[in-house]
Amino acid sequence: MEYELTVWTVSLLVISGVCAGFINTLAGGGSMLTLPVLMLMGMPADIANGTNRLAVVIQSLTGVHGFKKHGYLETADIIPVMKPMLVGAFLGALVVSYMPPDILKPVLLITMMVMSIVMMFSSTAVFPGEHEKPKLLGDLRFGNVGIFLCGLYGGAIQGGVGFVLILFFSGAMRYGILQANAWKMVCTLGFGFLSLVIFIIREQVVWLPGAILSVATIVGVLLSLKFAMKANQEVLKRFVLVVVLIVCGVTIFVN
């Protein structure tokens, strides 16, 4: 696989990686920064997508460790959530191998538009109140179906799945914004790893640019965690809203 690795492209990889790691930790849409840079280096879209998954896995692993370290993740609850999510991710990866992912892109756009509108008029519909207790997956009537669908979407196209997961964990399960993001990172680690294995088997990962991008995203995640632990909840909610609106606008413009 030929690609152009220069001071300019390495700089772009580092900058986009740090920014992607930062916004992916608290919101989503970071791949919209990294994928164009990888393609600018001369990679076809499928190779860029596979290479990007390496960074997604590394940043998710860093985020999971960081949130757990600060007490925002209960590891005992991971297996019940991961089972339906990974089944969905596997089927999503299978589906996308037989149909164009563009068919599923309207799902992301509709989700982001609904999320942004609701957040502007009533943030408590997406984010729980200060004293509201989170629910267990089994408490929700369609909890397993919901996380299965999140996995299905993530396994198929990955891009923007962070918003879908925040909407589920915060809006449906009523986790606070930091806990919701912790669970989001667990899920992206799960189906990110699953899809990365497939991309590696198909030889669609370019390791050196992927490694540079991964290290940069680690820096972004660490900076984001430091910011998140100091900022109040309202600032974090506004940050998510702004990122959702920007990604929503970019998605509409591109399509």
CA distance 250 to 114: 16
29-38, 104-113, 191-200, range with the lowest pLDDT: 104-113
Q: Tokens 């995203």 identify what position?
A: 217
Long-range contacts (CB closer than 8 Å, 24 or more residues apart) made by 225-232: 225/25, 225/63, 225/66, 225/67, 225/70, 227/22, 227/26, 228/25, 228/26, 228/178, 228/181, 229/70
Q: What is the mean pLDDT of residues 196-224?
A: 95
Q: What confidence tens digit (pLDDT) does each residue in 8-65 have?
A: 999 999 999 999 999 999 988 888 889 889 998 999 888 898 899 999 999 999 999 9
Distance CA 178, CA 46 (A): 32
User: Does the pLDDT of residue 98 top 60, yes or no?
Assistant: yes
User: What are the structure tokens assigned to 19, written together?
Assistant: 């920014």
Q: pTM to 2 decimals?
A: 0.83
Query: What sign does the dihedral 34-85-25-222 (CA atoms) show?
Result: negative
Angstrom distance (rounded) from CA 150 to CA 182: 15
- Distance, in Å, from the CA atom of 170 to the CA atom of 218, rounded to the nearest integer, reads 24
Candidates 168, 172, 170, 183; CA nearest to 73 is 183
**Shortest CA distance to 153 belongs to which of 183, 119, 109?**
109
For 110, what's the count of Cα atoms within 13 Å in the CB-facing half-sphere? 5
pLDDT value of position 139: 72
pLDDT given for residue 29 in this prediction: 83
Domain boundaries, given as residue ranges, for the chain: 7-254
222-255 pLDDT tens trace: 999 999 999 887 788 788 878 877 877 776 776 5
Q: Looking at residues 143-162, what average pLDDT do you find?
A: 82
pLDDT of residue 187: 92
Q: What's the pLDDT at 109?
A: 64
State the average pLDDT for the chain: 84
Confidence of residue 107 (pLDDT cuts 50, 70, 90): low
